[in-house]
Amino acid sequence: MSVATLDPAAAKSVARRRERWVSSRTYVSAAVILIWCLLPFYWMLVTAFRDVGYTFDPTPWFTHVTWDNFSTVFSTSLGNHFAQNLLNSLIVSGVTTAVALLFGVFAAYALARLEFRFKFLVLGFVLGASMFPGVAIVTPLFQLFTNIGWMGTYQALIIPNISFVLPLTVYTLTSFFREMPWELEEAARIDGCTQGEAFRKVIMPLAAPAVFTTAILAFIGAWNEFLIASQLSSDATKTVTVAIAYFAGSQPHQEPYTAVMAAGTVVTIPLVILVLVFQRKIVAGLTAGAVK
Amino acid sequence: MKHSRKFAALAAASVLAMTLAACGGGGSGGGGGGNSGGLSGDAAANLDARGPITYVQGKDNSNVVRPLVDKWNASHPNEKVTFKEQSDKADQQHDDLVQNFQAKNASYDVVDVDVVWTAEFAAKGWLQPLKGKTAFDTTGFLPATVATATYKDTLYAAPQTSDGGILYYRKDLVPTPPKTWDEMMGMCPIAKKNNMDCYAGQFAQYEGLTVNAAEAINTAGGVIVGKDGKPAVNTPEAKAGLNNLVQAFKDGNIPKQAITYQEEQGRQSFEAGKLLFLRNWPYVYNLAKTDGSSVVKDKFGIAPLPGKDGPGASSLGGHNIAMSVYSKHKATAMDFMKFMTSQETEKFYATQGSLAPVRADLYADADLVKQLPYLPVLLTSIKNAVPRPVSPFYPAVTQAVQVNAYAALKGDKTVDQALTDMQAALGAAGSQ
Amino acid sequence: MSMQVEPQTRRGKKGTGAGLENKEVGQDRKQKTQGKVALLLIVPSLIVLGIVIVYPVIDAIVMSLQKDAGLDPVTGSFVAGGFAGLYNYIHWIFEQCNTPNGQASCPAGTLGSQFWSATGTTFLLTVITVALETVIGFWMAIIMSRTFRGRSALRAAVLVPWAIPTAVTAKLWFFIFAFDGIANTLFHTSILWTGSEVPARTAIIIADVWKTTPFMALLILAGLQMIPDDVYEAAKVDGATAWQRFTQITLPLVKPALMVAILFRTLDALRMYDLPAIMTAGANGTTTLSILVVNQIRIGFNSAAALSTITFLIIFIVAFIFVRFLGANAVESATNSGKAK
């Protein structure tokens, strides 16, 4: 199609019509994506706020609205300890993230900034580790922790979590660190700082946002972990993901759907807020390394 | 082990102090649960010793255990019981017990075990055999519950609570409940006329299917595992039993969606008035009477499971109470076990926690029946019950039953083939 | 960014030399001192990874050479199994079981008979989900790359499925796909989603695609944004159709990013556990390798260790093939970034 042969006025209107058509198509597509992504989440909310007696009512909008499910979630009378589970998840994810950052920052700095032999090997190892199947370490750890009496301790969850969070941290941070204005470090060193001082005084403040973003990703990764926690936690250390999967009803066989969805909402809302607030950072972190 | 020591040395350099312990104690390796040596030694020790003990049980959801322990402690100041509450998830309770038994933890004196684990723990030599000085009198207990606690002809635990399947039916549509399976199938046109489904149990592929398949097989006179502990499921009786379910699916007497049913989906369908007959546990009774969305509040009745010519053979749920061979105060533990299964305690389980008693005469107790109207029916059910296979390899056994029964129900396999495979898989389960 | 997609191994041999040539040629001494610092900085992480990954893997291999405890037929008590050699591996790979009649092929209903079907299921789910996620993700990325009002809201919204824990997602879909659930009600169908193979797998695929397509879309979007607008303008002037622009500009330029994204997703899908474990518990042809391992742990953990080692090897081989032959070079993407700028 050669636009050039048409007279200018007609070309303009064709282009404008085309533009309008493209943009309306874009909006329709965007709406489809939006609905696809949010609809199941919406249904979770509807169920979470529905009276338990109407659990199986298929009405697709908010009916029989109640807060009761949320008090059920936090009630301990059925043997659920959701508040404790939340705390467990916070402890496990928090410590995992902290440990991973502590080690990861230095490794990432070296990988991004320093030249040394076997760098490819190290990076390859780190990447391989991040894709490592959790199930391959669960079996030996299950037996090991049983033998040494660690089942039901926090370290029994934190240690295996580190196996996938630390590689993720190193990898993401390495990519971030490459993008930083290292000229400033050079400048600081010309001013007489040692490499260590330059790192602390100049680079650390610059790197803080990258570290923060990585921390969010690491935390979400650990927070959402299920396989390891389902096998290696006990009642005392049960995390929210496991608690939700096996939420107890008022009777041995009863499955409290509405309460489960309420619990899901409680776990998800902070993440959704986190995601909405730090959207840009998270996207940057997710895509770091993969494309640049 | 060499490598664990090497890593422990490396770990010393790291700040992560806790990982040190991981490797220091890292002498894992092979072997596993075997505990051949010294079993008789442990079981023979501390038989007359008295002193404080610990009682371990899963989540005390309806606050039954704490008052009982308080009561015991008030009258036994020198033999106090500490209550250790475990998870509410069966797998986690199991793992916690395994871990502590493997460590020969003396502070797990008396433990509460699911009926299907009793054999495994007994075979591993962790449970005190209840004979000789630690004999336990089971007079008055329902025989089927005692069978769940018996392994290789020795009693290893005392029945504590029970549970059995019962038939829920719409008394507004079926005035007298069916006594036999054939009779029930004969009533299915009533369901059709009312635009309902006829019968459902638990047929999704999970533990509930083992329960339902075992009930069908046992009801027809078959067995899954014989008296000698060997699989014996490939028999005409077992075939007839499983075939009842398969045929009902084919005829539409069991709705096709029941292949996805666990307890809750069946209850949901029954409460919505879409199901004429439902096999389920007693917990449905109160919910169907009180649920907001239940349309059958005053329209349903309960009956024993229909059988071949009389009541059917229910599978059994519930828990047993057992003593660890590593307990330091076995005389106290023994007394506490007796206390926890006494007439009075059993009644308290029922009134406080709606837990079905293991003692027959409580089912006739007027107070109890008033509170739990399903008790007489449940008694018939438990009296005719057959425990699920008592096997130290229960996870493999239930897998063998589920997978093959499921394939038969879906029509992927003939009943013959399913039972041949089940028999073979049960055989392989014991000698892996 | 580097457009070459040379496999890492060939390049890795030359090691750091390749990365150096631009700025720091011939600074051997500097490299040596940097090497020492780098060692100090990296070794702690490597030790930690060694403890949490290498040690368990070695332990698993040691365990996998032991037989699981068996039953003494007379006493009914457990006895330790002893050294097994490669029996546990043969047991899985050839689906051979010890039966009362000696070694035979594992009967249906044993976990041993499910190895190849679980492997097949794992790969089937992986191929379908990754393919769908790539196609839909590409489409979503193209939409998101356009300028329109509400674009950032859209980008935030697609992160919602990604942020919800998979376990919660699984519960949610389990509920949605119940027979009397909202899916059947909404579409006036009466599909037994968890009653037979195709629907059960479809349900899991839908749940997985919902959850992870956003991740894919964002990775592709980042790739798209690296392509300068003037390349498209030039192509337009040359009269290229939209399809030609897509296949001849977009695809080749996005390919490196796309391959890395596909690699990540593939390896992630191969270890799928949460969704089938919660939605179907592995019934109806949804038992993945991870589920099989977990089911085996409580039956006999030495045998489970062998299976987990096999699983690890399978995933490793797939990763190797990706990197070696398909040019998905995540290491290179990471190390070369910045250079192209």
Contact of C294 with A231, CB cutoff 8 Å? yes
For the cut 80, the answer to whether the pLDDT of residue A185 exceeds it is no
Q: Which amino acid is at C290?
A: S
Distance (Å) from the alpha carbon of C251 to chain A's nearest alpha carbon:
14
Report residue B10's pLDDT band, with 50, 70 and 90 as the boundaries. very low
pLDDT score for C23: 46
Tell me the three state secondary structure of residue C12: helix
| Chain A interface includes B99 (CB < 8 A) | yes
Q: Say how far apart CA C111 and CA B298 lie, in whole Å.
A: 46
Q: Are B321 and B337 in contact (CB under 8 A)?
A: yes
Q: Which pLDDT score is estimated for B430?
A: 64
DSSP B250-293: HHTSS-GGGGG--HHHHHHHHHTT-EEEEEE-THHHHHHHH-TT
H or E element at residue A51? none
**pLDDT tens digits, residue range C124-182?**
999 999 999 999 999 999 998 888 888 888 888 888 898 899 999 999 999 898 887 88
Name the range with the highest mean pLDDT among A149-153, B155-159, C214-218. Answer: B155-159
The answer to whether A106 and C44 have CB atoms below 8 angstroms apart is yes
Which residues of chain A make contact with B272, given a CB cutoff of 8 A?
56
Sheet holding B81-85, edge to edge: B81-85, B53-57, B110-114, B316-323, B158-164
| Topology of the domain comprising B42-162+318-383 | D-Maltodextrin-Binding Protein; domain 2 (3.40.190)
Tell me if B88 and A80 make a contact (CB, 8 A cut-off): yes
pLDDT above 90 as % of chain C: 26
- Residue B363 is predicted with a pLDDT of 94
pLDDT for residue A88 is more than 70: yes
Residue C132, chain A, CB below 8 Å: the answer is: no
Mutation pick from A114, A122, A257, A273 vs chain C, by most beta carbons of C within 10 Å, is A114
What pLDDT score was predicted for residue A126?
A: 84
Q: What pLDDT, in 10s, does the model give residues B108-117?
A: 999 999 999 9
**A232 burial class (0-12, 13-18, 19+ CB within 10 angstroms)?**
buried
In chain B, residues 68-97 whose CB comes closer than 8 Å to chain C: 91, 94-95
pLDDT digits (tens, 9 = 90+) for B228-283: 778 899 999 999 999 999 999 999 999 999 998 988 889 989 999 999 999 999 98
Other beta carbons within 10 Å of B170: 21
C194 close contact with B: CB closer than 8 A: yes
Taking residues B206-228, report their average pLDDT: 92
Q: Quick check: C175 and A261 in contact, CB under 8 A?
A: yes
Type of residue numbered A263: A
Residues 6+ apart with CB under 8 A from B211: B165, B202, B315, B317, B388
The mean-pLDDT minimum among C113-117, C132-136, C224-228, C265-269 falls in C224-228
Q: Determine what percent of chain B is predicted with pLDDT higher than 90.
A: 65
> Residue B285 corresponds to which amino acid?
Y
Average of pLDDT values for B6-33? 33
pLDDT interval class at C22 (50, 70, 90): very low
CA distance B136 to B114: 19
pLDDT one-digit tens code per residue, A207-218: 888 888 889 889
B23-27, B147-151, C117-121, C281-285 — which is least confidently predicted?
Answer: B23-27
Confidence tier at B431 by pLDDT (50, 70, 90):
low
pTM of the model: 0.83
- Yes or no, beta carbons of A27 and C148 under 8 Å apart: yes
- Cβ atoms of A117 and C13 within 8 Å: the answer is no
Run of H or E residues at C96: strand C96-99
Residue keyed to tokens 């879309």: C217
Instruction: Closest CB to C192: pick one of B257, B400, B407.
Output: B257
Q: Which tokens hold the place of A142? A: 């299950």
**Residue whose entry in the numeric block shows the structure tokens 């009541």:** B311
Cα dihedral A157, A162, A164, A165 sign? positive
What's the pLDDT band for A7 if we cut at 50, 70, 90? low
pLDDT range class, residue B141, cuts 50, 70, 90? very high
CATH number of the B164-315+390-430 domain: 3.40.190.10
pLDDT given for residue B296 in this prediction:
94
Give the residue among B227, A115, A221, A283 at the shortest CA–CA distance from C17: A115
Q: Is C328 on the interface with A (CB under 8 A)?
A: no
- Of B88, B211, B339, nearest to A238 by C-alpha is B88
Q: Does the structure show a pLDDT above 80 at B11?
A: no
Strands, E assignment, B140-294: 150-151, 154-155, 158-164, 166-170, 197-200, 275-280
Contacts of B268 by beta carbon, 8 Å cutoff, 6+ apart: A55, A56, C180
Neighbours of chain C (3+ CB pairs under 8 A): A, B
- With beta carbons less than 8 A apart as the criterion, state whether B202 and B260 touch: no
Residues of chain C positioned with their CB less than 8 A from the CB of B30: 62-63, 65-67, 80-83, 302
Give exposure, C46-64, as e/b (b: 16+ Cβ within 10 Å): bbbbbbbbbbbbbbbebbb
**pLDDT at residue A286 greater than cutoff 80:** no
Count other Cβ atoms within 10 Å, centred on residue C305. 31
What's the pLDDT score for residue A89?
Answer: 94
At residue A3, the pLDDT reads 45
CA distance B92 to chain A (A): 6
Judging contacts by C-beta atoms under 8 Å, the chain B residues touching residue C299 are: 393, 395-396, 432
Is residue B383 within 8 A of residue B389, CB to CB? The reply is no
Between C269 and B12, the higher pLDDT residue: C269
Q: Confirm or reject contact between B236 and chain C (CB < 8 A).
A: no
Side chain identity at C340, as an amino acid letter? Answer: A
Helix and strand numbers (H, E) in chain B are 19, 11
Tokens (6 digits) for A134 = 């959790």
If one counts every other C-beta atom within 10 angstroms of the C-beta of residue A54, the result is 17
pLDDT value, residue A191 = 82
Sorted by sequence, the CB contacts under 8 Å of residue B280 that are 6+ apart come out as: A253, B165, B166, B168, B201, B202, B263, B266, B267, B270
**How far, rounded to the nearest angstrom, does the alpha carbon of residue C200 sit from its chain's CA centroid?**
20
- A169 and A226 in contact (C-beta within 8 Å)? no
Strand partners of residue B225? B231
Q: With 90 as the cut, is the pLDDT of residue C29 above it?
A: no
Identity of the highest mean pLDDT range in A161-175, B155-169, C55-69: B155-169
pLDDT at C28: 61
Tell me which fold the domain A71-287 belongs to: MetI-like fold (1.10.3720)
3-class SS of residue A137: helix
Rounded distance between C-alpha atoms, residue A281 and residue A172, angstroms: 12
Question: How far A53 CA sits from the closest chain B CA (Å)?
Answer: 4
Q: B26-50 pLDDT, tens per residue?
A: 333 333 333 333 346 688 888 889 9
Quote the minimal CA–CA distance from A247 to chain B in Å.
Answer: 9
| Predicted confidence band of residue A250 (pLDDT cuts 50, 70, 90) | low
Those chains having 3 or more beta-carbon pairs within 8 angstroms of chain A are B, C
How far is the C-alpha of A209 from the C-alpha of C328, rounded, in Å?
29
Distance from chain centroid for Cα B162: 8
For residue B133, pLDDT over 80 is answered with yes
- Please tell me which residue, B14 or B380, carries the higher pLDDT value: B380
Tell if the CB–CB gap between A51 and B88 is shorter than 8 Å. no
Neighbours of chain B (3+ CB pairs under 8 A): A, C
Characterize the bridge pairing of strands B275-280 and B197-200: parallel
- For the cut 80, the answer to whether the pLDDT of residue A12 exceeds it is no
**Tokens for B388?**
């699920």
Average pLDDT over residues C240-268: 86
- The fold of C114-336 is MetI-like fold (1.10.3720)
Confidence of residue C269 (pLDDT cuts 50, 70, 90): very high
Is the CB of C157 less than 8 angstroms away from the CB of A34? yes
Please name the residue of chain A whose CA is at the shortest distance from the CA of residue C172: A44
Which B residues in the span 133-192 are in contact with A, Cβ-Cβ below 8 Å? 163
Q: How far separated are the first and last CA of chain C, in Å rounded?
A: 7
Residue A144 CB contacts under 8 Å (≥ 6 apart), including other chains: A150, B22, B25, B26, B28, C56, C59
* Chain B nearest-CA residue for A236: B87
- Candidate from B422-426, C2-6, C47-51 with smallest mean pLDDT: C2-6
ipTM strictly over 0.90? no
Residue B429 touches partner C, C-beta closer than 8 Å: yes
Looking at residue B411, its pLDDT comes to 92
Q: What residues in A contact B10, CB-CB < 8 Å?
A: none
Is the pLDDT confidence value at C275 over 80? yes
- Mean pLDDT is lowest, of A111-120, A218-227, B66-75, B257-266, for A111-120
Output the pLDDT for position C298: 79
β-pair partners for A118: none
Domain ranges of chain A: 3-48, 71-287
pLDDT-based confidence at residue C327 (cuts at 50, 70, 90): low
Q: What is the DSSP letter of A131?
A: T
Query: Residue C283 and residue B406: Cβ atoms within 8 Å?
Result: yes
- In chain C, the percentage of residues whose pLDDT exceeds 70 is 86
Residue B96's pLDDT is: 82
What's the pLDDT tens digit per position in B286-335?
889 988 888 999 999 999 999 998 899 999 989 999 999 999 999 999 99
Q: Which chain B residue shows the shortest CA-CA distance from A255?
A: B264
How far is B204 from chain A, CA to nearest CA, in Å? 14
Q: By C-alpha distance, which of C226, C177, C184 is closest to C200? A: C177
- State CA B232 to chain mean position distance: 21
C-alpha to C-alpha distances, A261 to A226, A244, A252, nearest whole angstrom: 17, 8, 19
Integer Cα distance of B267 and B256 in angstroms? 16
pLDDT score, position C82? 81
Please indicate if any CB of chain B lies within 8 Å of the CB of C197: no
B231-242 core/surface letters (b: 16 or more CB in 10 A; e: else) = bbbbbebbbbbb
Across A117-126, A158-167, B32-41, C101-110, least confident range: B32-41
Cβ-based neighbours of B355, under 8 Å, separated by 6 or more: B64, B161, B163, B318, B349
Give pLDDT, residue A289: 57
Over residues B175-198, the mean pLDDT reads 95
CA pair distance C251, C248, nearest whole angstrom:
6
Distance CA C276, CA C290 (A): 10
Q: Average pLDDT, whole number, for chain B?
A: 86
pLDDT tens-digit series, residues B383-410: 999 999 888 889 889 999 999 999 999 9
Q: Which residue has the higher pLDDT, C327 or B381?
A: B381
Worst-scoring range by mean pLDDT, A177-181, A271-275, B230-234, C213-217? A177-181
DSSP B305: P
CA distances from C229 to A4, A20, B112, C142, C311 (A): 21, 20, 70, 13, 44
